[in-house]
Amino acid sequence: MLDWFSTLAAGSELPMDAASELQERGFIVLPGAVPSERMERLADAYTAAVASATDEDTRIGSTSTRVSDFVNRGAAFDDLYVFPPLLEACCHVIGRPFKLSSLHARTLRPHTSAQELHVDVQRDSADWPLLGFILMIDEFRPDNGATRFVPGSHRWPGNPEGTMSDLRAEHDQQVLACGRAGSLLVFNGSAWHGHTENTSSGPRRSLQGAFIPRDGRAATDFAARMQPETRARLGQLARHVLAL
Ligand SMILES: O=C(O)CCC(=O)C(=O)O
């Protein structure tokens, strides 16, 4: 059997400066992960997939609408979770064999408040370390809810809830992860983060997911949900990443 982890870890698709920034600051933005000429089609596919999802797969929260399982919503989304720089980032952050835990759409609606600063996983969980990623379907800007991060916080022993009295308040070290549509935000799930206020009149659309250690418990059971048409087009690497 192929040793996928060693093969991926030996790759050189993630520039060295990006790898060290991810290690030091806990997040990076990779511009042009999806070339601008492909973004209109991808955004159209996103809108169609969100519109046709069942109520069961759709969660309407206070700021965002989420639709689960973008592994099974069309070929337009296939490249994202096997994007080589993303898988190399997993090797750096997770450090051992990993799998996809979730891949969902998140539309942050216009005129919504900031999310609480949080981490995605507790250190004593089987799902730690977690590597999160967000593909910007729309540009992420200061006025439309760009994700904020507290650089270096993935190395701190505490969590925001143990440290801050108002988790929605600005943190004095926070920075915004802005980028053009098609940029890929990659982050260590222990970094303190959350979306900011969307004061604009437009939605901020994104595809978001997470990778976890292979022996962790995936948020989505991709094996159980696998559609025959998806299975038919999956390559070996995708099958491995989905733990099929
Ligand atoms: O949408 C964002 O900018 C961040 C989302 C996030 O942190 C989460 O859903 O846990």
Neighbour-count burial for 89-114, b at 16+ CB within 10 Å, e otherwise: bbbbbbeebbbbbbbbbbbbbeebeb
Do residues 40 and 190 make contact, with C-beta atoms less than 8 angstroms apart? Answer: no
Nearest-angstrom CA–CA distance, 169 and 118: 12
Q: Say whether 13 sits in a helix, a strand or coil.
A: coil
Tokens of 106: 């998140």
Q: How much is the pTM?
A: 0.98
- What local confidence, expressed as pLDDT, does residue 142 receive? 98
- What local confidence, expressed as pLDDT, does residue 160 receive? 97
195 lines ligand 1 (CB under 6 A): yes
Q: Rg of the Cα trace of the chain?
A: 17
- What local confidence, expressed as pLDDT, does residue 226 receive? 98
25 lines ligand 1 (CB under 6 A): no
> For a pocket test of ligand 1, which of 106, 108, 185, 205 has the largest count of ligand atoms closer than 8 A to its C-beta?
106
Nearest-angstrom CA–CA distance, 93 and 96: 9
Specify whether the backbone of 26 is left (phi greater than 0), alpha (psi in -120 to 50) or beta: left
Locate the ligand 1 atom nearest the alpha carbon of residue 120 and give its number: 10
Locate the ligand 1 atom nearest the alpha carbon of residue 66 and give its number: 9
Tens-level pLDDT at each residue, the chain (244 residues): 579 999 999 999 999 999 999 999 999 999 999 999 999 999 999 999 999 999 999 999 999 999 999 999 999 999 999 999 999 999 999 999 999 999 999 999 999 999 999 999 999 999 999 999 999 999 999 999 999 999 999 999 999 999 999 999 999 999 999 999 999 999 999 999 999 999 999 999 999 999 999 999 999 999 999 999 999 999 999 999 999 9
- CA 69–ligand 1 middle distance (angstroms): 16
Nearest-angstrom CA–CA distance, 242 and 214: 10
In 76-235, which ranges are E strands?
98-108, 131-136, 147-149, 175-177, 184-188, 193-195, 204-213
194 lines ligand 1 (CB under 6 A): yes
> Atom 1 in ligand 1: which residue has the minimum CA distance?
195
Degrees (nearest 5) of the Cα angle 12, 131, 4?
Answer: 50
Amino acid letter, 164: M
Tokens of 62: 């206070």
- CA 117–ligand 1 middle distance (angstroms): 9
